[in-house]
């Protein structure tokens, strides 16, 4: 029995597991680990893989499943809405990138045919890398996410004409006109098939399968649809990945899309890892070692050209400067389909083996840098926007007309763009309570404004945007942005503007709670843990356990996981704060040069002067509950004050106020 394939899989999994364990500990994206695994196991280093072609097959399956899940998250209607981005934006990005790269290639002493071909190679970005990262960051449906996806879709579509033109650049003209006409007819046929499949075939077929109530049959059917449509498009001369995307689109409008997505996630993650491993295996470290400065310089030139042109394209489509930077850096790498083109170019003698190896080194390096470029894009845009830039550059060519919000107070401010905030806005509106929204997504902001809601388009980490939504006079602020760093920045700015607003923050993990409370949040809801609490509460209720016992059990659970940073609206089985709504507990940081730094609690006389009680104090990592009057307060301590919001605001100013000069 031949165990070569199994041996290769074990080697790849073993190396990937080890490398990813190290990279996870040092907080480096797993994608880099997969590429490094391919480099280590590849033929140019240790040569551990005996059947690289088998790895390539599994890699192809990974890309197919990735594109299928991306299609599931979109819909045909959604795609039609961004057709301007797909065709206008995609064409502009491709043409400009190919044109500029072609001119730069002449500096490398390439012929015109070779330069045009290198322009083709460079113009394509990595669908697999970028969409995987955006999917993990939940940014696919953002305004800039839609632009990135639209441009990538156009690149996938244009790959087919590029493949047809490549032999012509090598001198093999053939009957190109006939081939292009045939491809046009095939494209029209596929569009009709996709429309019919979305409208009639898929809803009927999936309903028929779902009625069997067999999870196994449902999963097999989903995989069959994905692979069958991918094979169909491949037979018609298009890429497998593009066919898988179209299959996902056909299913996305059905009621079974979420179930299909959930079933395929484990398969997608496993097989996608093989794709990045297979890419890493192509890299010849010897070539990089022999030409380090050439590789580094070319990588920087490619990233610069692609980032600037992609950013210019986004700006031309109406993006703000923020979106321009994010789109530019997201599309700054060379794509996986360029490897197919490069191999074809090598076969037709368009490029030499030397330039082929240079291309591989540049492409793989740029793909490895992509997670870091995407990660720094938002902070970098924020830093640059602090410069005195022209208004047209900051707001874009087609700025969203902001709604003039009348002066408002004692209201709720909603900050975020996810479904939770959108649904909450509808609920608050139903109860006719005053609220404003801050939304960093032009499409979503426009929709809210069309509904008649008071919405502000902008980044909540900037004080002018917060003031425009009247955060400084708000009674309550609800923050649901997902990203911890962004949430911390927003909370800090809100607390600086409004000392008494009740700030509720959604976060992902329990470990985020302390930092958010330290910066001034009144209540932090870690979604994973609170979902478990909700299940727990329902289970106890089903067993007819008395309500008081349920409250106590939940309070103990929160205490074990939150410590002193538990939900401040609940203490044990009974909440004093629930019965006295004007009383709250707030965390206040003592200034290093505060008038009370170095004094005891008794000397501060906070209860007498401000009407608040210090119920706990934190020295470094030590928390002292119910501190004695003789306890000394130091600079940078965290004081937990009980009292009315307005009194806490006064005490907060005193505790943070420096000594008079």
Most confident region among 100-114, 276-290, 300-314, 629-643 by mean pLDDT: 300-314
3-state secondary structure 280-299: HCCCCHHHHHHCHHHHHHHH
Q: Span 25-34, mean pLDDT?
A: 78
**Per-residue pLDDT at 579:** 52
CATH 3.30.70.1450 domain residues, the chain: 582-661
Beta bridge partners of 589: 638
Q: Span 524-550, mean pLDDT?
A: 76
Architecture of domain 582-661: 2-Layer Sandwich (3.30)
**Per-residue pLDDT at 310:** 94
**Res 501 pLDDT > 50:** yes
Cα-to-chain-centroid distance, residue 45: 34
Q: Return the C-alpha torsion angle 42, 45, 49, 50, nearest 10.
A: 120
**Per-residue pLDDT at 571:** 40
Q: What is the pLDDT of residues 136-147, one digit of tens each?
A: 776 776 778 888
For 541-599, the DSSP string reads: HHTT--HHHHHHHHHHHHHHHHGGGS-TT--TT--HHHH-TT-EEEEEEPPTTBTTTT-
Which of the two residues, 298 and 198, has the higher pLDDT score?
A: 298
**Per-residue pLDDT at 559:** 63
**Res 238 pLDDT > 50:** yes
Query: Among residues 414, 439, 451, which one has the least CA distance to residue 320?
Result: 439
Q: Where are the beta strands (DSSP E) in 273-387?
A: none
Window from 369-383, 387-401, 467-481 with minimum mean pLDDT: 387-401
Give me the residue label for tokens 């600086």. Answer: 496
* Residue 640, helix vs strand vs coil: strand
Pairing between β-strand 638-643 and β-strand 613-619 as defined by DSSP bridges: antiparallel
**Per-residue pLDDT at 122:** 92
Percent of the chain with pLDDT over 70: 86
* 327 — pLDDT class (breaks 50, 70, 90): very high
Window from 366-370, 402-406, 459-463 with minimum mean pLDDT: 402-406
**Token code pair at residue 107:** 């500096």
Query: Among residues 240, 203, 231, 362, which one has the least CA distance to residue 292?
Result: 362
Q: What is the pLDDT of residues 249-273, one digit of tens each?
A: 888 777 777 677 777 777 777 777 7
Cα-to-chain-centroid distance, residue 303: 21
CATH 1.20.1530.20 domain residues, the chain: 13-49+59-384
**Res 312 pLDDT > 90:** yes
**Per-residue pLDDT at 180:** 66
**Token code pair at residue 429:** 């509106």
Q: In what helix (H) or strand (E) does residue 641 lie, and over which residues does it extend?
A: strand 638-643
Long-range contacts of 447-451 (CB under 8 A, 24+ apart): 449/403
Q: Span 193-201, mean pLDDT?
A: 80
What is the DSSP-derived secondary structure letter of residue 350? S
Q: Span 60-88, mean pLDDT?
A: 75
**Per-residue pLDDT at 329:** 94
Q: Span 412-419, mean pLDDT?
A: 82
Q: Residues of 614-623 as b/e, b for ≥16 C-beta within 10 angstroms? A: bebbbeeeee
Phi first, then psi: what are they for 28, rounded to 5°?
-110, 135
The sign one gets for the Cα dihedral 487, 491, 493, 497 is positive
**Per-residue pLDDT at 335:** 84
Q: Span 437-461, mean pLDDT?
A: 79
**Per-residue pLDDT at 573:** 42
Longest dimension (CA), the chain: 94
**Per-residue pLDDT at 362:** 92
R_g of the chain computed on alpha carbons: 29
Which of the two residues, 153 and 358, has the higher pLDDT score?
A: 358
How far is it, in rounded angstroms, from Cα 418 to Cα 365? 34
Contact yes or no for 599/630 (Cβ under 8 A): no
**Res 583 pLDDT > 80:** no
Architecture of domain 13-49+59-384: Up-down Bundle (1.20)
Beta bridge partners of 526: 507
Percent of the chain with pLDDT over 90: 10
- Other residues' Cβ atoms within 10 Å of the Cβ of residue 289: 9
Which of the two residues, 194 and 377, has the higher pLDDT score?
A: 377
Which of the two residues, 571 and 372, has the higher pLDDT score?
A: 372
**Per-residue pLDDT at 574:** 44
How far is it, in rounded angstroms, from Cα 270 to Cα 547? 45
Window from 90-99, 140-149, 267-276 with minimum mean pLDDT: 267-276
For 411-430, the DSSP string reads: -EEEEE-SHHHHHHHHHHHH
Mean pLDDT of the chain: 80
* 219 — pLDDT class (breaks 50, 70, 90): confident
Q: Span 454-458, mean pLDDT?
A: 81
């Amino acid at each position: 029995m031949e165990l070569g394939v199994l041996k290769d899989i074990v080697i790849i999994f073993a190396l990937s597991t080890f490398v990813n364990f190290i990279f996870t500990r040092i907080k480096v994206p797993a994608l880099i680990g997969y590429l490094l695994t391919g480099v280590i196991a590849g033929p140019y280093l240790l040569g551990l893989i005996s059947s690289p072609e088998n790895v390539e097959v599994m890699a192809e399956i990974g890309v197919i499943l990735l594109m299928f899940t991306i299609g599931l998250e979109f819909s045909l209607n959604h795609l039609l809405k961004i057709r301007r981005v797909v065709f206008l934006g995609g064409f502009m990005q491709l043409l400009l990138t190919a044109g500029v790269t072609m001119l730069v290639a002449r500096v490398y002493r390439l012929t015109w045919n070779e330069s045009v071909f290198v322009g083709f190679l460079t113009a394509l970005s990595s669908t697999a890398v970028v969409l995987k990262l955006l999917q993990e960051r939940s940014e696919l449906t953002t305004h800039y996410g839609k632009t990135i996806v639209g441009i990538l879709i156009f690149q996938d579509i244009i790959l087919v004409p590029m493949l047809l033109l490549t032999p012509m650049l090598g001198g093999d003209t053939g009957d190109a006109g006939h081939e292009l006409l045939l491809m046009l007819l095939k494209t029209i046929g596929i569009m009709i098939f996709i429309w019919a499949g979305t409208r009639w075939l898929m809803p009927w077929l999936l309903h028929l399968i779902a009625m069997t109530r067999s999870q196994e049959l449902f999963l097999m059917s989903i995989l069959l649809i994905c692979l069958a449509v991918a094979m169909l498009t491949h037979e018609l001369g298009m890429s497998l990945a593009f066919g898988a995307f179209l299959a996902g689109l056909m299913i996305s409008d059905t009621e079974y899309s979420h179930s299909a997505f959930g079933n395929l996630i484990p398969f997608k993650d496993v097989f996608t890892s093989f794709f990045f491993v297979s890419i890493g295996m192509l890299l010849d470290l010897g070539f990089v070692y022999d030409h380090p400065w050439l590789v580094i310089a070319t990588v920087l030139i490619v990233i610069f050209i692609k980032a600037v042109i992609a950013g210019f394209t986004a700006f031309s489509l109406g993006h703000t400067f923020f979106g321009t930077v994010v789109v530019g850096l997201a599309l700054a790498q060379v794509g996986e389909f360029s490897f197919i083109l490069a191999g074809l170019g090598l076969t037709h003698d368009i490029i030499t083996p030397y330039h082929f190896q240079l291309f591989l080194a540049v492409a793989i390096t740029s793909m490895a840098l992509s997670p870091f470029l995407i990660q720094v894009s938002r902070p970098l845009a924020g830093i640059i926007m602090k410069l005195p830039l022209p208004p047209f550059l900051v707001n874009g060519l087609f700025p969203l007309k902001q709604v003039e919000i009348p002066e408002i107070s004692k209201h709720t401010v909603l900050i975020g763009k996810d479904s939770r905030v959108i649904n909450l806005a509808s609920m608050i509106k139903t109860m006719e309570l005053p609220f404003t929204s801050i939304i960093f997504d032009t499409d979503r902001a426009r929709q809210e404004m069309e509904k008649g809601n008071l919405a502000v388009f902008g980044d909540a980490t900037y004080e002018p945007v917060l003031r425009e939504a009247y955060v400084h006079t708000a009674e309550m602020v609800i923050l649901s942005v997902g990203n911890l760093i962004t949430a911390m920045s927003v909370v800090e700015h809100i607390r600086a503007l409004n000392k008494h607003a009740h700030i509720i923050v959604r976060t992902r993990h329990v470990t985020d709670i302390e930092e958010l409370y330290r910066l001034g949040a009144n209540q932090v809801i870690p979604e994973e843990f609170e979902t478990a609490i909700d299940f727990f509460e329902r289970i106890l209720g089903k067993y007819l356990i008395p309500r008081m016992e349920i409250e106590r059990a939940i309070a103990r659970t929160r205490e074990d996981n939150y410590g002193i940073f538990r939900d401040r609206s609940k203490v044990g089985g009974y909440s004093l704060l629930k019965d006295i709504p004007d009383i709250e507990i707030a965390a206040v940081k003592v200034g290093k040069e505060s008038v009370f730094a170095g004094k005891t609690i008794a000397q501060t006389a906070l209860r007498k002067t401000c009407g608040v009680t210090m119920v706990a104090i934190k020295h470094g990592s030590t928390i002292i509950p119910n501190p004695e009057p003789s306890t000394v307060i130091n600079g940078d301590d965290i004081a937990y004050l009980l009292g009315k919001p307005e009194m806490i605001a006064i005490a907060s100013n005193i505790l943070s106020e420096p000594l008079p000069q």
